[in-house]
Amino acid sequence: MKKNLILLLLLGLFFKAGAQNVSLKKGWKLAIGDSPEWSSPGFDDKGWQNADVSKSWELQGHPSYDGFGWYRLHVVIPSSIKEKAYLKDSLLISLGSIDDNDEVYLNGTLIGKYGGRGGDIKSSHYGPRSYKIAANNPAILWDRENVLAIRVYDTGGDGGMYGSNFNVHMADIMEGVHFDTNSDFSYGDKNSLGKSIKIVTANRYAYKGTLSFTVTDPETGAVILSKKTDTAHFTAGTPFSWWFTFSAAKKRSYLITYTFKDRRSGVELSETETTPYILTPALAKTPKINGADVFGVRPGHPVLYLIPATGLKPLTYRAKGLPSGLKLNPATGIITGVVDKEGSYPLVLTVTNRKGSATKKFTLAIGDNIGLTPALGWNSWNAWGLSVNDEKVRTSAREMAQRLSAHGWSYINIDDGWEAEKRTDDGKIVANSKFPDMKGLTDFVHGLGLRMGIYSSPGPRTCGGYLGSWQHEDDDALTYGEWGIDYLKYDWCSYGEIAPHHPNLDEMKKPYQVMRSSLNKASRDILFSFCQYGMGDVWNWGAEVGGNSWRTTGDITDTWNSMSGIGFSQDKAAPLAGPGHFNDPDMLVVGKVGWGPSLHNTRLTFDEQYTHISLWSLLSSPLLIGCDMGHLDRFTLSLLTNDEVIAIDQDALGKSARQYIKKDGYQVWVKELKDGGKAIGLFNTADKYQTISLSKTNAALKGYTKFRDVWRQQNIAAVGGSIAPHGVLLIRVEK
Ligand code: GLA
């Protein structure tokens, strides 16, 4: 929603300042393949298919297609767009997002390109694209028809050029100016919030003007606070910083709009964000045991299980019924050892501190089925992308141990970017210089009671262009075993070059079968996470091929469109989830994300983040935190430590919620739980407040009498209420 609002405000800006823009949303043609002739303005593209640039090419008749494709558009660029712009020297061409890399030709001239690592167009660099060119560049044909030709290369998963921001406009005075709203909110007494924002530019122009700030109630539209300062001055290297506080009347998100108006040019820039509100109650000092009720390990393989418990420290841990071969460290709560005999071992766990004690029944299932509840952990990709390194992984592990493992979080997974360029002479995979000691790092993670995950591709190269496991599957599984790896994400990527162009089901399964049998030779449990973006409806065969989870979609990003588009389309795969094998709608986009060295606050609103965690928990998805763990703000921490919400994800029945109601502005999803209860998500998918309820006579509630608001951890009288735009009410019902 924030994005829509910004868009609206930006449109407002165009009208106010008169800096017109030419839409590039309609009229595109698409061809799959590659030819140098396709950049030429004279090429006849009439026979090409009409392209819809709001969606990937997979959704336009090219399922599972990876490789080159071209988009062409004939468009008149009127010189009138220069007239009202304050600055008239450059033109900006915005092309939505490109998945993954591109070259842009205007009337046959290459005016820009975006490649992956080392400029190689074949390595992944998915993301938004805008190209700036001088207004006097002879490639632009003012007031005449221009031909824009975009050569796109997709490395894997969804591909093409798609998104919402497609236009040409003058790069006016506010181009290159932005509000930096990335600092964390601070929380005072009585719902009061504070924050510092900055207006930043790299332009040398001296901006002087007013900054106004309004807080709006999104339900009524009423402006509840408005402030203005005349002293906003900034230029390159000297941002304007401003600290504000305000008291929120209710526990909900408000809209804050910042508007800067430059006095000399009269041009304005606006941005809107929402305010956080925390629902998760503060932790009690008395002990409480959290996490799943069951944990599976193969016989003869090492057990590593940290009993997740909260309460005033120090805590003392005990376990009754531990099978021989296992021991529990009473001070850390870490269970280690090996059990040779298959069986279901019922344990009674007890945790004590000076405020009291708590017990919990727990089952250790020694057998072939592992990953009995969805993995809870962290993965480096959505935060650091290819810039992940040893230090960042250690920071995440330390933070997880300090703040999250007490709630059941346990995996520290390194995604792409750890691999060397070359194997050793005897074919062994080695890490690159960012990971000087992989075994040492794994030992460190294990020492904290956590588990370690790694990433590879069945192809010769990973999506990021690093070494994959092609023809070295046994070597790699052996190395992972030696390092002590507990989880492997196996990403199709360049396997597209090995498999035939339109692989059939057997061909899609093959690389996963090969690695499965290699992993089976390791003498430890390694959860196997398939990443091939849902090709061939993987949910129908992922379990049979030995996957513990499988991605059902292309890559997520931190927008409402992406998150809700993925989350609300999971019903088809839902019946196939079960203990040991789960659908994976991709990793979480809460907290500070960035897919590279510089991070930003997720662009999801706070209500959208509640929706994200609620929906993923209802779907029994692996929950893999994708943010910088070194800077977990208070809100994000509250999202990730609500034990009643996590319990829905970790429910031992392992079923996924089903879509129960789907209407234009709302949806209801229902998940069956092990204790005979249900978890129900009422989602407001509209842009305005709505009251959404299920009446007590609704079939889903028949026989249920106890209702609980899970985020607030409070019993409630009825299932429903007023729900914020893109927000949720997550409810647990019992008989
Ligand atoms: C693909 C996957 C992502 C990530 C990157 C790494 O895009 O879908 O989750 O692993 O590759 O390059």
Task: Identify which of 352, 278, 359 has the alpha carbon closest to the alpha carbon of residue 311.
Answer: 352
Distances 153 to 103, 104, 158, 161, 497 between C-alpha atoms, Å? 9, 12, 11, 10, 13
Distance between CA atoms of 162 and 462, rounded to whole angstroms? 23
Ligand 1 neighbour 464 (Cβ under 6 A): yes
Ligand 1 neighbour 100 (Cβ under 6 A): no
In a domain, 13, yes or no: no
In a domain, 142, yes or no: yes
In sequence order, what are the beta bridge partners of 238? Answer: 235
* CA distance between the termini of the chain: 37
In a domain, 2, yes or no: no
701: its two tokens: 């509630």
Whether residues 688 and 632 share a domain: the answer is: no
Whether residues 522 and 597 share a domain: the answer is: yes
Whether residues 315 and 420 share a domain: the answer is: no
- Amino acid (one-letter) located at 293: D
**What pLDDT is stored for residue 197 in this prediction?**
97
Whether residues 506 and 628 share a domain: the answer is: yes
For ligand 1, atom 11: residue with the closest CA: 463
Whether residues 401 and 466 share a domain: the answer is: yes
Contact yes or no for 367/303 (Cβ under 8 A): no
- Print the domain residue range for 257: 177-274
Task: Divide the 735 residues of the chain into consecutive groups of 10 and give the mean pLDDT of each group.
Answer: 39 42 95 96 97 93 89 96 88 93 95 69 71 96 97 86 92 93 92 94 95 96 94 97 90 96 94 97 98 98 98 98 98 98 98 98 98 98 96 98 98 97 95 98 98 97 93 98 98 90 93 98 97 96 98 94 96 98 98 94 98 99 97 97 98 98 97 98 98 96 96 97 98 96
Determine the distance from the C-alpha atom of residue 39 to the mean position of all C-alpha atoms in its chain, rounded to a whole number. Answer: 35
**What pLDDT is stored for residue 116 in this prediction?**
54
Distance between CA atoms of 453 and 455, rounded to whole angstroms? 7
**Gap from CA of 491 to ligand 1 centroid (Å):** 7
In a domain, 533, yes or no: yes
For ligand 1, atom 6: residue with the closest CA: 416
In a domain, 44, yes or no: yes
Q: Which of 344, 366, 388 is the last residue of a domain?
A: 366
**Gap from CA of 601 to ligand 1 centroid (Å):** 20
Report the CATH number that the domain containing residue 104 is assigned in CATH: 2.60.120.260
Distance between CA atoms of 35 and 32, rounded to whole angstroms? 10
**Gap from CA of 559 to ligand 1 centroid (Å):** 17
Q: Which of 615, 639, 656 is the last residue of a domain?
A: 656
DSSP helix/strand/coil, 330: coil
In a domain, 7, yes or no: no
**Gap from CA of 215 to ligand 1 centroid (Å):** 38
Number of domains the chain is built from: 5
The upper half-sphere exposure of residue 613, i.e. CA atoms within 13 Å in the direction of its Cβ, equals 30
Whether residues 165 and 184 share a domain: the answer is: no
Q: Which of 332, 366, 400 is the last residue of a domain?
A: 366
Ligand 1 neighbour 626 (Cβ under 6 A): no
Pairing between strand 719-723 and 690-694?
antiparallel
Whether residues 599 and 729 share a domain: the answer is: no
Report the CATH number that the domain containing residue 634 is assigned in CATH: 3.20.20.70
**What pLDDT is stored for residue 288 in this prediction?**
98
| pLDDT tens-digit series, residues 685-707 | 999 999 999 999 999 999 999 99
491 included as an active-site residue: yes
**Gap from CA of 65 to ligand 1 centroid (Å):** 16
Whether residues 261 and 128 share a domain: the answer is: no
Measured N-to-C along each axis, helices 2-17 and 560-567 cross at an angle, to the nearest 10 degrees, of 150
User: Where are any strands of DSSP class E within 298-355?
Assistant: 302-306, 309-310, 316-320, 326-328, 334-338, 343-353
DSSP helix/strand/coil, 140: coil
For ligand 1, atom 9: residue with the closest CA: 555
Whether residues 576 and 614 share a domain: the answer is: yes
Whether residues 559 and 417 share a domain: the answer is: yes
User: ∠ at Cα 591 (627, 275), nearest 5°?
Assistant: 175
Q: Which of 102, 158, 555, 651 is catalytic?
A: 555
184 included as an active-site residue: no
**What pLDDT is stored for residue 83 in this prediction?**
85
**What pLDDT is stored for residue 19 in this prediction?**
41
Cα radius of gyration (the chain): 27
C-alpha torsion angle, residues 685, 691, 696, 700 (rounded to 10): 0
CA-based torsion, 533, 536, 542, 545: positive or negative? negative
In a domain, 284, yes or no: no
Report the CATH number that the domain containing residue 353 is assigned in CATH: 2.60.40.10
Ligand 1 neighbour 531 (Cβ under 6 A): yes
Whether residues 360 and 443 share a domain: the answer is: no
| Candidate of 462, 492, 555 to mutate for ligand 1, largest count of ligand atoms within 8 Å of Cβ | 555
Q: Which of 154, 491, 586, 643 is catalytic?
A: 491
